[in-house]
């Protein structure tokens, strides 16, 4: 006559073989599980063995838990390799026309499951957000190496002078800074874009005159629109040449220091994160406008 132990053996013999576990041990584990749950998981008869209603519920949920565990493990491995997650990137507005799209495109192609949180900010605001860990990395201008930050020089681009097409110098391909001494400048408030403002003001000082701001605006398209309207001239990074407005022309500044430097900045602890490391790697590989700078950090 078949005993309950024999029926247990029927339940577990094939699963035990698949699991490479001894049949008695697996039978004991099933018994202990039924005791813990205080309900039978199998209906055992002399003819067949089948799951109880509770057993079916356990099977369904168990399969889901195992699938979710596999998904969690896969997600952890992808995160460890910088394949998924969220990367918070700050950038100056003047980098949004050429540099940022190229870097974002490279990230999308290389890490399609990566979520990018992009925020337009001035350089100084980015530094605050990075120190507060509100940003992972920043794309900034005119930033020298600083203690407590990793600054990776990326590219430098020429500075151009934007003029109304009606200006006497508008047909020139290059202009010496000294020729702008009597001009009225359209620019941004120093309180908001201090680093690039100070760089341009210093260049004017080297050329023997003081920059005279006539109109101010926060956004480059507004600045260039005012120039096109005849309200003055503006010194802008060469990436702004892609903004073609009626009545506007560009000329290169003939001065060895008339360049603007772009860098990537982050906290030293963030530089070790896989997502940030991949951002640096791809940024260094994309074809950027301007002259590549030797990468350095501090």
pLDDT digits (tens, 9 = 90+) for 207-232: 999 998 999 998 889 999 999 999 99
Greater pLDDT, 184 or 35: 184
Residue 110 falls inside a structural domain: yes
The alpha carbon of residue 293 and the mean position of all alpha carbons in its chain are separated, in whole angstroms, by 21
Q: What local confidence, expressed as pLDDT, does residue 16 receive?
A: 52
On the question of pLDDT at 255 being above 70, the answer is yes
At 286, the pLDDT band (50, 70, 90 cuts) reads: confident
Contact status, residue 11 vs residue 48, Cβ threshold 8 Å: no
175 three-state secondary structure: strand
The number of folded domains in the chain is 3
Pair (170, 237) in one structural domain: yes
Domain match, 178 and 251 both? yes
**Which of 48, 80, 112 is where one domain is finished?**
80
Residue 297, pLDDT score: 46
pLDDT, one tens digit per residue, over 75-95 is: 455 555 555 589 999 999 989
* pLDDT tens-digit map of 101-115: 999 999 999 888 889
Residue 294: predicted pLDDT: 55
Are residues 146 and 165 located together in one domain of the fold?
no
Is 225 in the same domain as 250? yes
pLDDT-derived band of residue 233, with 50, 70 and 90 as boundaries? very high
Mean pLDDT of the chain: 83
pLDDT, tens digit, 9 for 90 and up, residues 60-69: 887 787 666 6
Considering Cα of 243, then 249, then 252, then 254, what sign does the dihedral take?
negative
Is residue 289 scored above 90 in pLDDT? no
The verdict on residue 11 lying in a domain is: yes
Q: Report the Cα 286 to chain-centroid distance in Å.
A: 14
**Percent share of the chain, pLDDT over 90:** 48
Question: Could you give the CA distance from residue 56 to residue 293 in angstroms, rounded to a whole number?
Answer: 64
**How much is the pLDDT for 266?**
95
Mean pLDDT computed over 159-187: 95
The continuous run of DSSP H or E covering 1 comes out as none
Domain boundaries, position 274: 85-154+262-292
Residue 297 belongs to some domain of the structure: no
Indicate if 111 and 187 belong to the same structural domain. Answer: no
Q: Can you give the pLDDT at residue 287?
A: 74
Give the pLDDT of residue 248: 95
Q: Determine the average pLDDT of the residues in 112-129.
A: 93
Pick the last residue of a domain from 51, 80, 109. Answer: 80
- 111 and 170 share one domain: no
The whole-angstrom separation of Cα 50 and Cα 42 is 5
């Amino acid at each position: 006559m078949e005993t309950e132990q024999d029926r247990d053996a029927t339940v577990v013999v094939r699963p035990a073989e698949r699991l490479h576990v001894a049949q008695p041990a697996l039978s004991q584990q099933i018994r202990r599980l039924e005791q813990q749950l205080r309900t039978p998981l199998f209906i055992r008869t002399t003819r067949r063995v089948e799951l109880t209603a509770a057993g079916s519920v356990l099977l369904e949920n168990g399969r889901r838990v195992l699938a979710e565990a596999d998904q969690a493990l896969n997600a952890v491995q992808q995160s460890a390799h910088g394949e998924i997650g969220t990367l918070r990137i700050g950038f100056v507005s003047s980098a949004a026309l050429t540099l940022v799209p190229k870097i974002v495109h490279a990230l999308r192609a290389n890490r399609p499951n990566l979520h990018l949180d992009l925020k337009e900010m001035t350089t100084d605001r980015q530094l605050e957000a990075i120190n507060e860990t509100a940003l992972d990395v920043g794309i900034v201008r005119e930033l020298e190496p600083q203690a407590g930050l990793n600054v990776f020089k990326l590219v430098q681009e020429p500075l151009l002078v934007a003029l109304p097409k009606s200006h006497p110098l508008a047909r020139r391909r290059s202009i010496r800074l000294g020729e702008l001494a009597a001009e009225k400048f359209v620019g941004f408030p120093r309180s908001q874009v201090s680093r690039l403002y100070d760089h341009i003001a210093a260049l004017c000082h080297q050329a023997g005159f003081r920059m005279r701001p006539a109109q101010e605006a926060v956004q480059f398209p507004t600045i260039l629109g005012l120039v096109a309207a005849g309200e003055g001239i503006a010194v802008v990074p060469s990436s702004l040449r892609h903004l073609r407005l009626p009545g506007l022309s560009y000329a290169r500044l003939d001065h060895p220091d008339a360049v603007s430097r772009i860098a990537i900045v982050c906290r030293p602890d963030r530089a070790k994160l896989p997502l940030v490391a991949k951002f640096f790697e791809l940024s260094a590989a994309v074809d950027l406008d301007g002259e590549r700078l030797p990468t350095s950090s501090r």
